[in-house]
């Protein structure tokens, strides 16, 4: 007893199988996480080292180069990038995707640990982290109140951050615009000199007289006592009373030579919401955490905190990325349900039998719910790609059931009972249905196995479609025949008016197609010439398609990147950026602006961003792209450099995510900079590039302290003492910590603020001679010069580089890549090379991976068809439908003005599996009829006529299932629509041309088969 007989004869057994799938799927539904995109593990490791007071050149030579040399030896390393900026070194190591990210991070830690002794004294311990694309910021909070920033920061740290960190799934929490409590010892150099003391004497006093050490234990006859030396101070007043030295019987205290302040750290960041200064708290989720659930729990916690806030305090949540995710996933789910309803109505139109329609339709919920369980077991999430997989599959999932039930229906019209028709009809079509399904699965497995980062993202998409389609086959060969045998009834009554009218239409189609098929088979060369001409024409259309990585998405959010000349003070940056934000808010449709400056390890106060939210797309008459173009013009008159970019869904950093990025490499920085300027000039002349910029900047103003080493040595002053004194007095050095109010705070020694702004004070500073013990003024052996130093130094694979950024306005990314590549070749001198980076590089790599997947899919389809038909020739007949589908796919994209992108390329691969269905049905039944004695001509005509309705029905059902996606009515639908449009266009032309062209091709290849029949291995 085979599977079909078993399921028909044992309905309870079959029902239990289906119910088990539904029960497990329903159980798993609420356990599956929700996110915008799949959680992808990328083996990228960052190393961040802080060297307080160091300029970029020093960072490069003393910190970056030793780190690069060490990391360069780690196995599997593909690319090594570094950035040297003021105080901070950042090295980014990118490994081959096959490398385990955690192991790569550990290998980097080991290598860095081995060279720590080579780093200069004063470098803080490097922080080594694995880049986690899944750990993305999900919400931003803004805390404001009519109090000092220090009090706001304390509340943000101690209350808001502490409570949010307890939520499961919350990762890092960053605070921008805050200023933590700190104790300052502001030195008065004149008073210091009057007592014959140096700044190092003050620092040494703080270190030596603020200690609390365990002294061990004392054991008496009856008790054991712990012993502790109490030597710590706990207030600014107590710090001031510490004794530095004793002169003429008088104690010289710190308060005699400095002001001791209980204050805040120097402000190096700023934040404001709609122009109101505040502290921002950005919450990042942990990798793999459910974004929507984490954000929901965070909102609940924020509501509780808000209720307990003092009067006048506010805690807002201007940025909540989970809202867009929930809206997007909800809209995609609606598309799925709406597509299913359309597919079912189309079936009802063709069958005009509610019983048959119901039996076919049951394949949809069963397959989809079972796939939910698969998603849960595989550890996938409900994200844009898995939901898109289900939505696009709706029409496919019902296809197998349609083909089976239509064949059963046809057998019943031949006078057979429902039981006999279910058995014989299902067995007759089973092999063809199996081949159709395996062809589709064969297409999506290569998609899931694609190389590169894009392959990681489409892994869940490919496997979800493959499993859902395989499940629909299982349902079609089990549940569908079982229900058909018991539910379908012979039509003993005349159809109603509507039914009769629809039947007349379908019969007219049958007659029309039969006549067309006979004429086509009578004029085969004309048919082939027309088909070939259409295909060549479609190739011409392909050349007109713009190429993008992904279509533009309208989220109603974008970022304004602002940068001002190196050396710009924080106060000036705040003033200009607030004016820019105010101008943006004045425009209609703007809901809020969130400005942030500085922050992070680098704390660059000449750079900032403005997060802008505009009305939802359904509530405004202009697109996000039009808004960006408008604001780009509005803020162009402000001083500084600006770029406006849509909010990135997946970001690997906080910098620009420009559409086009091009890297210039070489050893001569001046030559690189000049080449970059020439490239930018040519790009601006083209008029289609906006927000054009480069990563290099004019030198930052510096005061260079040149030391006469001979003179300094004669006076007994080491260079290290000079550098340490200058750094301590100007940058400020942490001398110690004090414990107060239950926490520990840093104590920094530096020169009084009123004197730090005068460069002339440097020459008057004094250091102690190690020969005489006397104080020696720096003017005896140093010279202060005004110079310009690089603001930032970038390197890639241990070579200096400059990155050119640009967004596009009026040109597609593919064309821009070619044009800029040509410009770089024309203007680059010897020693300067160029390469794509960022999105541009991803597009270039992805095109190659897509072609690999497409070729593999075609090969697998051919092998599956060869196995089914036991022939090497008939599969070639069927595969003629593949190029025929491209005619409609390219044409649809051109007609609707949609670009070629990674999503449309996935659509093309999807087409390869879908369009073989029609040809399989025709060729399979043609062979059956010929085996029954019909000649080739009549078998082809009859097979086409008999299979016309199921072909039209399944194609229409697939188109109906994809129509909601193609209409792009949902949030973020602009990204997904081109894929559905390409597939629908391909299905339309392929269905029409397959019905005409395939019989002709079958005739030619069957004749070839007859010629080769003497060689059985070839047939």
What are residue 523's phi and psi, to 5 degrees? -130, 65
Within-domain flag for 452: yes
Taking only the tens place, the pLDDT of each residue in 42-86 is 888 999 998 887 888 889 999 999 999 999 989 889 889 998 888
Q: Are residues 462 and 511 in the same domain?
A: no
| Predicted pLDDT of residue 492 | 44
pLDDT at 406 over 80: no
Taking only the tens place, the pLDDT of each residue in 584-612 is 999 888 999 999 998 766 668 888 999 99
Most confident of 23-27, 391-395, 482-486, 812-816: 23-27
Within-domain flag for 148: no
Q: Are residues 240 and 371 in the same domain?
A: no
Domain boundary, last residue among 451, 471, 493: 493
Within-domain flag for 278: no
β-pairing, 766-768 vs 211-219, is: unpaired
Asked if 947 and 922 touch (Cβ cutoff 8 Å), the reply is yes
* Residue span of the structural domain in which 945 resides: 503-543+871-1014
| Predicted pLDDT of residue 106 | 92
Within-domain flag for 384: yes
Name residue, tokens 């299982």: 474
β-pairing, 775-777 vs 766-768, is: antiparallel
| Predicted pLDDT of residue 730 | 82
Nearest 5 degrees, angle CA 355-CA 359-CA 360?
A: 115
| Predicted pLDDT of residue 1 | 47
Q: How far apart are the C-alpha atoms of 347 and 354, rounded to whole Å?
A: 9
| Predicted pLDDT of residue 1019 | 44
Q: Are residues 938 and 891 in the same domain?
A: yes
Task: Give kind and range of the element (H or E) at residue 784.
Answer: strand 782-789
CA 395 to chain centre: 29
The total of structural domains in the chain comes to 3
| Predicted pLDDT of residue 654 | 55
Q: Are residues 1002 and 965 in the same domain?
A: yes
Domain boundary, last residue among 493, 527, 560: 493
Asked if 461 and 383 touch (Cβ cutoff 8 Å), the reply is no
Tokens of 944: 């086409």
Q: Mean pLDDT check: name the lowest of 476-485, 754-763, 772-781, 1009-1018.
A: 1009-1018
Q: How far apart are the C-alpha atoms of 158 and 744, rounded to whole Å?
A: 13
Of residues 347 and 166, more confidently modeled? 166
Q: Are residues 537 and 489 in the same domain?
A: no
Q: Are residues 358 and 483 in the same domain?
A: yes
DSSP state of 900: B
| Helix 363-377 / helix 384-397 crossing angle, nearest 10 deg | 150
Q: How far is CA 57 from CA 176, 352, 557, 667, 721, in A?
A: 28, 79, 37, 14, 21
CATH of the domain at 396: 1.20.1640.10
| Predicted pLDDT of residue 68 | 92
Partners of 80 in beta bridges: 93
Q: How far is CA 6 from CA 14, 411, 417, 443, 478, in A?
A: 8, 20, 18, 31, 9
Taking only the tens place, the pLDDT of each residue in 693-746 is 998 877 777 778 888 888 888 888 888 888 888 888 887 888 888 888 888 898
Asked if 417 and 432 touch (Cβ cutoff 8 Å), the reply is no
- HSE (side-chain half, CA atoms, 13 Å) at 890: 18
pLDDT at 571 over 50: yes
Partners of 837 in beta bridges: 661
pLDDT band at 494 (very low <50, low <70, confident <90, very high): low
E strand map for 427-582: 557-563
| Predicted pLDDT of residue 1015 | 56
| Predicted pLDDT of residue 375 | 92
- Picking from 315, 353, 270, the residue whose alpha carbon sits closest to that of residue 141 is 315
Burial group, residue 504, by CB count within 10 angstroms (0-12, 13-18, 19+): exposed
pLDDT band at 486 (very low <50, low <70, confident <90, very high): confident
| Helix 973-1011 / helix 881-895 crossing angle, nearest 10 deg | 150
Measured over the CA atoms of residue 261, residue 267, residue 273 and residue 279, the dihedral's sign is negative
Taking only the tens place, the pLDDT of each residue in 916-951 is 888 888 888 888 888 888 888 989 888 888 888 888
Q: How far apart are the C-alpha atoms of 437 and 470, rounded to whole Å?
A: 7
Taking only the tens place, the pLDDT of each residue in 181-238 is 899 999 988 888 888 888 888 988 998 888 888 888 888 888 888 888 888 888 999 9
- The mean pLDDT value for 364-382 works out to 90
Question: In the 3-class helix/strand/coil scheme, how is 140-190 assigned residue by residue?
Answer: EEEEECCCCHHHHHHHHHHHHHHHHCCCCCEEEEEEECCCCEEEEEEECHH
E strand map for 208-298: 211-219, 224-231, 243-247, 250-253, 258-264, 269-273, 276-285
Question: Across the chain, which distance is largest between two alpha carbons, in Å?
Answer: 128
Asked if 25 and 373 touch (Cβ cutoff 8 Å), the reply is yes
| Predicted pLDDT of residue 659 | 87
CATH of the domain at 752: 3.30.2090.10
Q: Are residues 893 and 975 in the same domain?
A: yes
Q: How far apart are the C-alpha atoms of 564 and 638, rounded to whole Å?
A: 10
Q: What is the mean pLDDT of the chain?
A: 86
- The mean pLDDT value for 753-769 works out to 80
Taking only the tens place, the pLDDT of each residue in 946-970 is 888 888 888 888 888 888 888 877 7
What are residue 621's phi and psi, to 5 degrees? -100, 0
DSSP state of 267: P
Q: Are residues 940 and 989 in the same domain?
A: yes
What are residue 664's phi and psi, to 5 degrees? -105, 135
Q: How far apart are the C-alpha atoms of 205 and 220, rounded to whole Å?
A: 36
Helix/strand/coil for 55: coil
Task: Give kind and range of the element (H or E) at residue 984.
Answer: helix 973-1011
Nearest 5 degrees, angle CA 306-CA 307-CA 308?
A: 90
pLDDT band at 493 (very low <50, low <70, confident <90, very high): very low
Within-domain flag for 897: yes
DSSP state of 382: B
| Predicted pLDDT of residue 289 | 77
Asked if 219 and 239 touch (Cβ cutoff 8 Å), the reply is no
The C-alpha torsion from 185 through 191 and 196 to 200, rounded to 10°, is 20
Within-domain flag for 611: no
Asked if 775 and 196 touch (Cβ cutoff 8 Å), the reply is yes
Within-domain flag for 67: no
Tokens of 647: 């909010």
pLDDT band at 495 (very low <50, low <70, confident <90, very high): low
- The mean pLDDT value for 610-627 works out to 88
Q: Are residues 206 and 229 in the same domain?
A: yes
What are residue 68's phi and psi, to 5 degrees? -60, -45
Q: How far apart are the C-alpha atoms of 463 and 875, rounded to whole Å?
A: 25
- The mean pLDDT value for 314-336 works out to 84
Give the number of other Cβ atoms within 10 Å of residue 508's Cβ: 10
pLDDT at 491 over 80: no
Tokens of 483: 């229900």
Q: Are residues 1009 and 883 in the same domain?
A: yes
Helix/strand/coil for 193: helix
Q: How far apart are the C-alpha atoms of 558 and 577, rounded to whole Å?
A: 16
- The mean pLDDT value for 752-770 works out to 81
Asked if 924 and 493 touch (Cβ cutoff 8 Å), the reply is no
Calculate what percentage of the chain has a pLDDT beyond 70.
Answer: 97
The C-alpha torsion from 398 through 400 and 401 to 406, rounded to 10°, is 120
- Picking from 207, 288, 202, the residue whose alpha carbon sits closest to that of residue 252 is 202
Helix/strand/coil for 398: coil
pLDDT band at 1013 (very low <50, low <70, confident <90, very high): low
- HSE (side-chain half, CA atoms, 13 Å) at 906: 30
Task: Give kind and range of the element (H or E) at residue 862.
Answer: helix 838-869
Question: Residues with Cβ < 8 Å from 517, sequence gap 6 or more?
Answer: 940, 941, 944, 945, 995, 996, 999
Q: Are residues 876 and 920 in the same domain?
A: yes
Within-domain flag for 864: no
Domain boundary, last residue among 789, 809, 836: 789
Q: Are residues 711 and 785 in the same domain?
A: yes
């Amino acid at each position: 007893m085979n599977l079909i007989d078993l399921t028909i004869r044992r309905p309870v057994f079959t029902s239990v199988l289906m119910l088990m799938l539904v029960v497990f799927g329903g159980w798993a539904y609420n356990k599956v996480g929700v996110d915008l995109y799949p959680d992808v593990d990328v083996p990228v490791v960052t190393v961040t080292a802080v060297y307080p007071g160091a300029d970029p050149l020093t960072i490069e030579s003393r910190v970056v180069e030793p780190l690069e040399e060490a990391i360069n030896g780690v196995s599997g390393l593909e690319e090594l990038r570094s950035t040297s900026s003021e105080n901070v070194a950042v090295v980014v190591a990118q490994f081959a995707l096959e490398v385990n990210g955690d192991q790569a991070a550990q290998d980097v830690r080991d290598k860095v640990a081995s060279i720590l002794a080579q780093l200069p004294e004063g470098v803080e311990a490097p922080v080594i982290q694995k880049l986690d694309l899944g750990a993305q910021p999900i919400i931003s909070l803004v805390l404001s109140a009519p109090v000092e920033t220090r009090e706001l920061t304390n509340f943000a740290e101690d209350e808001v951050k502490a409570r949010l960190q307890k939520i499961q799934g919350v990762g890092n929490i960053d605070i921008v615009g805050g200023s933590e409590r700190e104790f300052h010892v502001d030195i008065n150099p004149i008073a210091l000199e009057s007592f014959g003391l140096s700044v190092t004497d003050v620092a040494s006093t703080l270190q030596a007289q603020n200690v609390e050490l365990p002294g061990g234990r004392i054991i008496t006859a009856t008790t054991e006592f712990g012993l502790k030396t109490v030597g710590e101070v706990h207030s600014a007043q107590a710090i001031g009373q510490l004794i530095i030295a004793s002169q003429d019987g008088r104690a010289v205290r710190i308060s005699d030579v400095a002001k001791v302040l209980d204050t805040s750290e120097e402000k190096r960041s700023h934040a404001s919401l709609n122009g109101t200064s505040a502290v921002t708290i950005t919450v990042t989720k942990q990798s793999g955490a459910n974004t929507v659930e984490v954000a929901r729990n965070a909102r609940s916690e924020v509501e509780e905190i808000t209720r307990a806030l003092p009067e006048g305090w506010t805690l807002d949540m201007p940025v909540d990325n989970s809202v867009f995710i929930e809206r997007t996933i909800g809209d995609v789910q609606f598309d799925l349900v709406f597509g299913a309803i359309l597919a079912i109505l189309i079936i009802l139109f063709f069958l005009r039998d509610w019983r048959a329609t119901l039996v076919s339709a049951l394949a949809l919920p069963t397959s989809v719910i079972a796939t939910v369980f698969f998603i849960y077991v595989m550890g996938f999430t409900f994200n844009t790609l898995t939901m898109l997989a289900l939505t696009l599959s709706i029409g496919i999932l019902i296809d197998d059931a349609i083909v089976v039930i239509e064949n059963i229906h046809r057998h019943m019209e031949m006078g057979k009972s429902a039981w006999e028709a279910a058995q014989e009809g299902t067995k007759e079509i089973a092999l063809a249905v199996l081949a159709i399904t395996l062809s589709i699965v064969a297409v999506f497995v290569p998609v899931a196995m694609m190389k590169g980062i894009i392959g990681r993202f489409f892994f869940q998409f490919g496997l979800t479609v493959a499993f859902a389609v395989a499940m629909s086959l299982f349902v079609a060969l089990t549940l569908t025949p079982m229900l058909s045998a018991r539910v379908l009834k012979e039509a003993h009554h005349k159809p109603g008016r509507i039914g009769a009218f629809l039947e007349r239409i379908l019969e007219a189609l049958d007659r029309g197609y039969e006549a067309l098929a006979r004429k086509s088979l009578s004029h085969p060369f004309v048919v082939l010439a027309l088909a070939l001409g259409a295909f060549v024409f479609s190739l011409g259309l392909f050349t007109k398609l713009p190429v993008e990585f992904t279509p533009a998405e309208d989220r109603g959010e974008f970022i304004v990147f602002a940068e001002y000349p190196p050396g710009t003070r924080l106060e000036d940056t705040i003033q200009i950026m607030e004016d820019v934000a105010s101008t943006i808010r004045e425009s209609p449709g703007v809901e809020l602006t969130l400005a942030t400056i500085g922050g992070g390890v680098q704390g660059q106060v000449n750079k900032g961003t403005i997060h802008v939210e505009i009305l939802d797309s359904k509530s405004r008459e202009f697109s996000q792209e039009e808004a960006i173009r408008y604001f780009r013009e509005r803020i162009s008159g402000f001083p500084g450099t600006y770029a406006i970019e849509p909010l990135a869904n997946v970001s690997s950093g906080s910098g620009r995510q420009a559409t086009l990025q091009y890297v210039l490499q070489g050893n001569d920085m001046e030559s690189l900079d000049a080449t970059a300027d020439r490239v930018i000039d040519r790009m601006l002349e083209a008029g289609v590039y906006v927000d054009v910029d480069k990563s290099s900047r004019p030198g930052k103003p510096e005061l260079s302290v040149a030391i006469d080493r001979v003179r300094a040595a004669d006076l007994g002053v080491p260079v290290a003492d000079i550098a340490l004194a200058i750094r301590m007095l100007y940058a400020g050095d942490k001398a110690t910590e004090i414990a107060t109010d239950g926490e520990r705070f840093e104590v920094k020694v530096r020169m009084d603020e009123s004197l730090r702004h005068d460069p002339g004070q440097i020459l008057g500073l004094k250091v102690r001679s190690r020969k005489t013990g006397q104080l020696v003024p720096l003017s005896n052996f140093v010279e202060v010069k005004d110079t310009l130093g690089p603001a930032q130094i970038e390197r890639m694979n241990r070579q200096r580089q400059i990155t050119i950024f640009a967004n596009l306005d009026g040109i597609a990314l593919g064309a821009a890549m070619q044009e800029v590549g040509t410009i770089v070749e024309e203007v680059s001198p010897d020693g300067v090379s160029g390469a794509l980076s960022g999105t541009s590089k991803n597009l270039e790599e992805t095109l190659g991976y897509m072609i690999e997947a497409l070729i593999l899919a075609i090969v697998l389809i051919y092998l599956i068809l060869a196995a089914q038909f036991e022939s090497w020739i008939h599969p070639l007949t069927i595969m003629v439908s593949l190029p025929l589908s491209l005619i409609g796919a390219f044409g649809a994209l051109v007609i609707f003005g949609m670009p070629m992108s990674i999503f449309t390329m996935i659509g093309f691969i999807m087409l390869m599996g879908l369009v073989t269905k029609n040809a399989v049905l025709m060729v399979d039944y043609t062979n059956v009829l010929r085996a029954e004695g019909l000649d080739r001509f009549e078998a082809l005509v009859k097979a086409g006529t008999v299979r016309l309705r199921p072909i039209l029905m399944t194609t229409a059902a697939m188109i109906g299932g994809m129509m909601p996606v193609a209409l792009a009515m949902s949030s973020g639908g602009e990204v997904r629509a081109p894929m559905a449009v390409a597939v629908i266009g391909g299905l339309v032309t392929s269905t029409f041309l397959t019905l005409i062209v395939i019989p002709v091709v079958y005739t030619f290849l069957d004749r070839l088969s007859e010629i080769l029949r003497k060689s059985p291995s070839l047939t």
